[in-house]
Amino acid sequence: MEQLVQACKQALINAFPEIDAAQLVPVLQNATNIKFGHYQLNNIMPIQKILKATGKECSVKEISDKIVGELTKMNAPMIAKIAPAAVFVNITLTDKFLLDQAIEKFMTSPETLPKPTPYPKQTIAVDFSSPNVAKSMHVGHLRSTIIGDTVCRLFEYLECDVHRINHVGDWGTQFGMLIAFLMDKNMTDAAHELPITDLVAFYKEAKVRFDEDKEFCERAHQEVVKLQSGSELELGLWKRLCEVSRKEFQRIYQQLDIKLEEVGESFYNPLLQKTVDELTKLGMVQLSDGAQIIDLQEAFPLMVKKTDGGFTYDTTDMAAIKYRAQDLKCNRIIYVTDLGQLPHFQLIFKAAKQAGWIENCLPQHCGFGVVVGEDGKKLKTRSGETVKLQELIDESIKQAEEQIKQTKADEYTAEEIAEISKAVGISAIKYADLCSRRTGDYRFSFEKMLSFKGNTASYMLYSFARISSIVRKIGIDRHEIYNKEKMQNLEITADQERNLLVVLLKLDQVVKQMVEDLMPHNLCDWMYSVSTAYTDFYEKCRVINQDGSYNWTRVVLSEMTRQALKFCFYVLGLKEVERM
């Protein structure tokens, strides 16, 4: 809608030459009632305030009339109607403009996504998922993994260079504990043979010993120092432990169709002392009870070196932000973690800025709330343990399969049911998370997420499948719809067609907003509005007639909607389903 923005901008400048043009930025919002227009120009009150500050009194009506007059004189080809309404101006767009814009945006080819919104070429690092080695991924990793993947997909769509960083917990105290325990159990040659379930049980047993046995605790700390200094024995045991966990993590990532580049805490080990030395040279490090800290005059300091000479998570995060900003030359670094870690990252950002490391880089914390059950309490198993992510995925697929078998068992083969169940089950988990505001708690419910009613993945997948069936019913190749010559004579004849186009063309606004605030629920809300607008269109505007003939304009509108949904599926990581 850049043409409309520019037209409004010029009209405001022409109407009020006494005001600095920089203050006349068009405030265009979606019309509250589409009967009166497609957009509202909400500059009247701000302009009145600016004029009053200069000693010039102007009524709302006078300002409104000036804007309407200038827009009318411009005779902008995209505007069909201009009408003043209280403290804003209603703007209705022409059918031709709506069609031309939608064709340019959505109708390149069936294989490509809608034309990207212009965005500067940037290098962006997204730090997400980040499970801990020797532990199973649990429901607490769900949101980071899913939200982080969506953020990556958004910037990849905008043709940015994206680093998908999995900052796994593969270093630190827990490894000293595990290595010491392996030695005590004479299992130093068998660590690679342990399945993840045994390794998790092994971790719990070691943790009890660590908490209760002071001598063992001290040995564990010594093993950490040996590991950090590069001892061959400790490094060999560490590699085996990491490999066991890595296989389990990868199985879940493949199921979720999520790609990550593992750059764990261990990657930064060679950089830690250099990082501390540089911070010390900058005068930022001071001693405190034998430890080395950075006091930023906040509630608590950063500790970059412990009294025993070991490094900390703070040291690793400082090394990581420096590496990402200076070595990777990132324009933006996004950390996707729970909101509880926000104070920590605020300190990291503040220290990195003070060190002069992020002058050309924007660090950003993309925080989220916890996963809770239907009772509003933290989601746990009946025994009180954290729910494992693999169990959650398996249960969602199972319930989706039961649902399909109950309603459409005769329509599909066993292989098709398995394929659709997997798509629905995994998409349901992702979408239920993403359509919730990420800063709030995510209320988990299989019943709600698998429902075909309302703003759910099942409803979106069904809408996509229904539109996809149109080309099969009319017996054409989908590529025919993209024939440019056939698009020259399209004709809008119903309000539902017009309304659908208006909703579709809000995509750029949604993408722009999501780039800024990293809130996936806004994209979900737009997809839901597209689906509901299409349902209204489909019910009142016949696409295929009873005699088998069809309305070509409506076939094209259906394909535009399919492309819009396809775009959302791509960014949100949902699986397309042609039949459902």
- The pLDDT tens digits for 539-573 are 999 999 989 899 999 999 999 999 999 999 999 99
Residue 543, CA distances (Å) to 146, 180, 470, 480, 557 in order: 36, 70, 9, 16, 10
Q: Which helix (H) or strand (E) holds 337?
A: strand 332-338
pLDDT of residue 327: 97
State mean pLDDT over 4-27.
93
Output the pLDDT for position 241: 87
Q: How confident is the model at residue 385 (pLDDT cuts 50, 70, 90)?
A: low
CATH homologous superfamily, domain 389-572: Isoleucyl-tRNA Synthetase; Domain 1 (1.10.730.10)
Question: For position 365, what pLDDT does the model report?
Answer: 98
Task: List the 286-288 sheet strands across, edge first.
Answer: 286-288, 291-294, 302-305
* pLDDT of 79: 94
The rounded distance, in Å, linking the Cα atoms of 330 and 358 is: 9
User: 306-320: per-residue pLDDT in tens?
Assistant: 998 888 999 999 999
Would you state the pLDDT for residue 411? 79
User: Lowest-confidence range among 106-110, 275-279, 403-407, 420-424?
Assistant: 403-407
CATH number of 2-93: 3.30.1360.70
> pLDDT band for position 348 (50/70/90)?
very high
**Residue 197: per-residue pLDDT:** 64
- Mean pLDDT calculated for residue range 25-46: 89
Dihedral, CA atoms, 396, 434, 523, 464, nearest 10 degrees? 0
Helix ranges, 257-322 (H):
272-281, 313-322
HEC-encoded secondary structure of 194-258: CCHHHHHHHHHHHHHHHHHCHHHHHHHHHHHHHHHHCCHHHHHHHHHHHHHHHHHHHHHHHHHCC
pLDDT band at 391 (very low <50, low <70, confident <90, very high): confident
- Across 169-182, average pLDDT: 88
The 3-state DSSP class for residue 295 equals coil
From the CA atom positions of the chain, what is the Rg in Å?
29
Statement: residue 489 has pLDDT above 80:
yes
Output the six-digit token pair for 230. 């590069």
- Mean pLDDT confidence for 16-42: 89
pLDDT band with cut points at 50, 70 and 90 for residue 203: confident
Question: What's the pLDDT tens digit per position in 436-473?
Answer: 999 998 787 777 878 878 889 999 999 999 999 999 99
Q: Do residues 440 and 534 lie in contact, with contact meaning Cβ atoms separated by under 8 Å? A: no
pLDDT for 81: 94
Mean pLDDT of 208-215: 94
pLDDT for the residue numbered 441: 86
Q: What is the mean pLDDT of residues 59-87?
A: 92
pTM of the model: 0.89
* 284-296: pLDDT as tens digits: 999 999 999 999 9
Mean predicted confidence (pLDDT) in 125-136: 91
Which region holds residue 334: left if phi is over 0, alpha if psi is between -120 and 50, else beta?
beta
Is pLDDT of 150 > 90?
A: yes
The pLDDT mean for the chain works out to 91
How far apart are the C-alpha atoms of 306 and 272, rounded to whole Å?
A: 13
Question: What does residue 166 show for φ and ψ, rounded to 5 degrees?
Answer: -100, 100
d(CA 166, CA 145): 9
Distance of CA 329 to the CA centre of its chain: 22
Cβ atoms 176, 221 nearer than 8 A: yes
Question: Any alpha helices (H) in 435-517, and if so which ranges?
Answer: 446-449, 457-474, 495-504, 507-517
Domain ranges of the chain: 2-93, 389-572
Average pLDDT of the residues in 221-227 = 88
